[in-house]
Structure 1
Amino acid sequence: MNKSFKIDSSSINMRIDRWIRNNIGKIPQSLVEKNLRIGKIKLNKKKVKSSVKLKLNDEINFFNFKFEEKYISKKVKYQPTNQIIKENENLIIDNNDDFVVLNKECGISVQGGTKSKKNLMDIFAKSEIFKNTKPYSVHRLDKETSGVFIIAKNRDSARLLTSLFRLRKIHKTYLAICHGEIEKNTGVWNNNLVRYEGKKQILEKAKTIFKVLDKNYNCSLVELKPITGRKHQLRKQLFGIGHPIYGDNKYKLENINKSINKELMLHSYQIRFMINDKKFTYTALLPNYFKQLLKTKRLKFLNY
């Protein structure tokens, strides 16, 4: 069976193999790569590698591809209650003609998956704010991470903001509370991070500027400015130097028991960018649980 799928803004910069697994179903990575290699799956009718990233309006073509029942796994849209819609609308920092900026809570995904679950795109799709349009995702923020998040209101804004993120013209600042006392007060982490595609190990260059704002023998409050945007970059880099983030149950040291903090102490604090010579700066207030841990650990942060 031949089918084609057009890429919208929610999938910009996503790898083609990931898109296939997310949207077509649980197809083994080896089968995805094989079909790309022999040309049963193409991008814009051309053969591509599994690592190619998608662009807006790209078309993924399937030729003589057997869409078996066990592979088909449609996304189930989350149906938010009016109360949940209102609660998330109350998190909005700015609402203009082109985009919305909000202070995302931890524990909520940006987009839904193959199972019905709470996510921002489905929530704001039902909001009056997007009554005559739809929400466009222009960047990613881990489910566990709180803080500044941008949602575009139209295709043109989505294209522009996505481009600014890709060109690293949007500057992000994070705050993290991590275990132990970081020795160096300022510096740059410039290293390779490991990720896996099946059994294949892939190295990705990652760069982050850091500054320790306060510390003691127990823990450190650190400001993080990622230059690259690798998956779990900040969490991996702090874990790599032996100072994992509080509440991180994925990247943690063996001698650290399960954290008493169910929330990840990583917060997207500020975003800065420029459009048509106009400067935009958005700051997200710290969550109460973050402020409470600062107090408990006797760490000072002057701006909250």
Structure 2
Amino acid sequence: MFKSYIVDSTCNNMRVDRWIRNTIGRIPQGLIEKSLRSGKIKVNKKKIKSSYKIKSNDKIDFHDFKFEERIQQKKISFSPSNRIIKANEDLIIDNNENFIVLNKSAGISVQGGTKSKKNLIDIFKKSEIFSDSKPFSVHRLDKDTSGVFLMAKNRETAQLLTSLFRLRKVHKTYLAICHGELEKNSGEWNDDLVRYDNGKKIIEKARTIYKVIDKNSNSSLVEMKPITGRKHQLRKQLFNVGHSIFGDNKYKSFNKTIGINKELMLHAYEIKFMIKEKKYTYKALLPDYFKKLLKIKRLTYSNLK
């Protein structure tokens, strides 16, 4: 079974993946690209890439029964959690014309300049996703921190997103599993954090709003919303209150090492921002090792929003 479409003049020079979404519905980018690569979607009987610019009178054929079923459903509803597809080293939560949203794995750097041999920018430079553009990093996420991360596809979007971060109009939520039981269930940390740049001591104001999701006598699951964006801010602040994050070998409140995990238990869970009055909200699923430690520590995250 297949279905054919003829491109009209109003869509001339439009990317084929955009045309598919506009014409058929909100099809996940991963499904579009997979169908193009396998030849289940062809233009003028030829395989093409998602970046192909369609022309008036192009014939687009869909040779995919499952895809055809989704077309006939008309409405295709999905949330970021069930749109996730595998791509290179990381999970893609969303992929649109201007930016991609990733669930970054722990242990991989965002860009070069570290001791890490692999980084996201270099990986995605070689990806088909950026076949006609290049990735732009617009914010930071520590190498050992997992979770939601944005990369812009063009300079204009990169400048816009960078400005939103600088103006604190991007709202991020982190989750951490830390040692010990926090005394207060919610509150705000205001610290003077110290760092050194070429031997020069620099003191920076750091502010974070936090809430305890669950806790017991030996550990806590904490939700944190940083207002400022200092280097290692959340790790330092939890260390300062005597409740360092499990797996943090740099900022340790406890000398005793428990050999049940190696990864840093810090996860960028959610990100929110607005562009031209349109709200964007993305959540990154918890890594398996994070959920495993929650189970070991008998902590629940079922009441996460």
The residue aligned with 1:129 is 129
1:168 equivalent in structure 2:
168
- Aligned counterpart, 2:284: 284
Aligned-pair distance for 1:201?
A: 1.9
Residue aligning to 2:120: 120
**Alignment-derived partner of residue 183 in structure 2:** 183
Distance across 2 between alignment mates of 1:94 and 1:197? 36
Query: Structure 1 pair 201/126, CA: closer, same or farther in 2 (3 Å)?
Result: same
Q: Give me the whole-angstrom Cα distance separating, in 1, the residues matched to 2:148 and 2:203.
A: 28
Provide the residue aligned with 2:25 in structure 1.
Answer: none
The Cα of 1:258 is off from its aligned counterpart by 6.1
Partner of 2:139: 139
Letter in 2 for 1:120: L
**Distance in 2 between the 1:144 and 1:204 partners?**
22
Contact 1:103 1:148 (C-alpha < 8 Å) held by counterparts: yes
Task: Tell me the CA shift for residue 114 of structure 1.
Answer: 6.7
Partner residue, 1:252: 252
Max Rg structure: 2
* Cα distance, 1:257–1:209 mapped onto 2, change above 3 Å: same
Change (3 A) 1:117 1:208: same
* Matched ranges for 1:32-71 at <5 A: none
Residues 194, 203 of structure 2: 8 Å contact kept: yes
Q: 1:96 to 1:286 in 2, by over 3 A?
A: same
Partner of 2:243: 243
Contact 1:249–1:258 (8 Å) recurs in 2: no
User: Could you tell me how far apart the structure 2 residues matched to 1:165 and 1:179 are?
Assistant: 30
Q: Tell me the alpha carbon deviations over residues 29-78 of structure 1, each in whole angstroms, 9 at most, x when there is no partner.
A: xxxxxxxxxxxxxxxxxxxxxxxxxxxxxxxxxxxxxxxxxxxxxxxxxx
Query: Does the Cα contact within 8 Å between 1:212 and 1:223 map onto a contact in 2?
Result: yes
Q: TM-score normalized by structure 1?
A: 0.69
Native 8 Å contact 1:171 1:273 kept in 2:
yes
Distance 1:303 1:87 in 2: 30
CA positional deviation for 1:112: 1.4
Find the counterpart in structure 1 of residue 100 from structure 2. Answer: 100
Where structure 1 has 5 or more consecutive residues not aligned to the other structure, the ranges are 1-85
Q: Which structure 1 residue ranges, 4+ long, deviate > 6 Å from structure 2? A: none
| CA deviation vs aligned residue, 1:126-181 (integer Å, no higher than 9, x gap) | 00000001000000000000000000000000000000000000000000000000
User: What is the percent sequence identity of the aligned residues?
Assistant: 73
Contact in 2 for aligned 1:135/1:154 (Cα 8 Å): yes
1:104 to partner: Cα distance: 0.2
Letter in 1 for 2:177: I
The TM-score with structure 2 as length reference comes to 0.69
- Looking at structure 1, the residues matched to 302 and 116 of structure 2 have their Cα atoms a distance apart, in angstroms, of 40
- Distance in 2, matches of 1:88 and 1:114, equals 20
Alignment size in residue pairs = 220
Equivalent residues of 2:244, 2:254 under 8 A apart = no
Partner of 1:155: 155
Q: Which runs of 5+ in 2 are unaligned?
A: 1-85
Q: Is the 8 A contact 2:195 2:202 kept in 1?
A: yes
Alignment partner, residue 202 of structure 1:
202
Cα shift at 1:202: 1.5
Secondary structure (helix, strand or coil) at the match of 1:184 reads: coil
Over aligned residue pairs, what C-alpha RMSD do you find? 1.8
Change (3 A) 1:176 1:196: same
Asked if structure 2 preserves the Cα contact closer than 8 Å seen for 1:247 and 1:260, the reply is no
**SS of residue matched to 1:91:** strand
Question: Matched residues in 2 for 1:92 and 1:114: separation?
Answer: 23
